[in-house]
Amino acid sequence: MTLRNMGFLAGMSIIASLVAGTIGANANDSVNNAVADPNQWAVAGHDYGNTRYSPLKQINTENAGKLSLVYSFSLASLRSNESSPVVIGKTLYVTTSWGPKYVYALDAATGARKWTYEPEIPDDVLQYACCDVNNRGVSYADGKLFIGRLDGKLTALDATTGKELWTTTVVDYKQGAVITSPPLVVRDKVITGFGGGEYGVRGALLAFDINTGKQVWQTFTVPAPGEEGSDTWKGDTGLHGGGAAWLVGSYDAKSDTVYWGTSNPGPWNTGVRSTGDGNFGKLTNLYTASTLALDPNTGKIKWYIQGTPADAWDYDGVNELLLANLKIDGKDVPSLMKADRNGFFFVANRETGKVLSAEKYVASTNWASKWDISTMRAVEDPDKRPGPGHPAKDICPNLIGGKNWQPMSFNPQTGLVYIPTNNVCMDWSVSDVAYKRGVFYLGAEFPTKEGPGGFLGELIAWDPVAHKKVWGIKQDLPFNGGTLSTGGNLVFYGNLHGDFHAINAKDGKVLWKKNLGSGIGAGPVTYSVDGKQYVAVVVGRTASLPAFLGDVGKKMTAAAPEGGALFVFAVQ
């Protein structure tokens, strides 16, 4: 993980609103107020720090076994339903797959439908969406909802009526650039990235005016020839170099800094864009597989941390940045945490960007023996780095990563991070490839292998200070659902079989389980209406991704049928 100061800002400080107990005055006031109300779930990750922790505790370890269904709601859309609902007041907002096909506003306590928005999504979006026709939800601010779309557009709706206020084009989706995750609202700007690392897009983050949809700034995440960092690419290959910022961002009001992760470089054949081996020198392919810190006012990159320089394994750096304060060596340290796809869990001081630790959170990780914080590089195993004329075997983790997009959560009571991990490996060989707009730009073969130990996934409770697993629940499949942690000492998560669980956050004991009929990838949420706490989760098994995973993928699709529904539970 290479750290460079870009010179735009000497330092920064990021405070997770709920964990640190403060809310900065520089963020959007309506979002701040919504996050400050513990009864609501105002942001996809609950707060600007993406902690996915709620202090609600009416549902707790004593009564979780009494959870029962309050209502279910059909989303009327199949495949990869991955939305985490947003709850503002007594209204729950949820999106569906396919674009989204629908955005629904429901009575959060009863499920009664208030309104439905149906955007006009082109029929051909599937061919430009690498990893399914998913949508992960909305963002809320100033009485509006904001939705990124598979056709590369960003739409604003009136949150009360569902009326479309504006729609703007972010990117041409026909180059393979789709939007699947909710944007980030900072003051009067709506910030979004897009996907497409597998199609050879040139990644970027863009900001739009919250009231008009007019573009305010654009920052490319891969430099063009002549720009700073362009010498980290072979020739002009960075123009199709990926680095897409397709997942969610985090924000710190105190330092007025936005964080975002960037995807793999393109193509997957490192000989095209770098040296094709571990002696890549300066050809690290900035700013791919990185964490970026940006000024939300201008989009300027303040500094960056590159997780996997000259990535050869599709180890996207997009996973969410979780912001919290940790007690390290007796001191409260403002921290940034990331469970990188490359199998290492990073803790950095979020004020300085200094990496404090980087340890394997997936035990089977073998592409590197360790990650050295003194050199800021992984100590790679040369036999595990594929390149031209050098196929590699039994590389762990697989390209889906030690953790994929499914969100982790942090509980300040236990001090633990709850991570849905994968235990899958692969072989890898490269081949010649040429860029063609709108089609995969890979140049690699990557047959999947099962990881060691007889399991393919594991929910782990990770101590980010002691750098160790505290407990784990092994799974027979990978790619399981995101997590929610609560003040009731509970962790909620689902798996590909459709089993939704409530777990004791301290010891991992399963307290309650319910099968919901289709695989679960989405992160659950919790909220309270009129003094009653609810837990909600969206189900709908992934459909496209298993095609990348051979026999493991066949097990994934056989585990449960496709689906699309919202389920809401409470202790009756």
CA-nearest of 541, 529, 517, 106 to 95 is: 106
- The residue from 314, 320, 359, 458 that is catalytic is 314
- The residue from 151, 198, 311, 351 that is catalytic is 198
Token code pair at residue 388: 């031209």
DSSP 431: -
For the CA atoms of 474, 475, 478, 484, the dihedral, rounded to the nearest 10 degrees, stands at -80
Phi first, then psi, for residue 533 (nearest 5°) are -90, 140
Phi first, then psi, for residue 95 (nearest 5°) are -110, 165
CA-nearest of 219, 197, 206, 207 to 128 is: 197
**Number of neighbouring beta carbons within 10 Å of residue 169:** 13
Q: Say which residues have a Cβ less than 8 Å from residue 537's Cβ, sequence separation at least 6.
A: 481, 492, 494, 500, 516, 520, 522, 524, 525, 566, 567
**Number of neighbouring beta carbons within 10 Å of residue 74:** 11
Cross-strand bridge partners of residue 396: none
Residue 137 Cα distances to 12, 166, 275, angstroms: 29, 18, 39
Token code pair at residue 483: 């997590």
User: 314 catalytic, yes or no?
Assistant: yes
User: 198 catalytic, yes or no?
Assistant: yes
Give the chain's radius of gyration (CA, Å).
21
Counting every residue written for the chain, the total comes to 572
Residue 465 and residue 453: Cα distance in Å, rounded? 26
Burial class (CB in 10 A: 0-12, 13-18, 19+), 252: buried
Q: Say which residues have a Cβ less than 8 Å from residue 63's Cβ, sequence separation at least 6.
A: 571
| Strand-pair category, 184-186 with 164-169 | unpaired
Residue 560 and residue 465: Cα distance in Å, rounded? 37
- The residue from 32, 39, 60, 264 that is catalytic is 264
**Number of neighbouring beta carbons within 10 Å of residue 524:** 29
Tell which phi-psi region holds residue 448, choosing left (phi > 0), alpha (psi between -120 and 50) or beta: beta
Tell which phi-psi region holds residue 275, choosing left (phi > 0), alpha (psi between -120 and 50) or beta: alpha
CA-nearest of 113, 106, 73 to 90 is: 106
Residue 403 and residue 478: Cα distance in Å, rounded? 9
Residue 142 and residue 164: Cα distance in Å, rounded? 15
Residues that are catalytic: 198, 264, 314
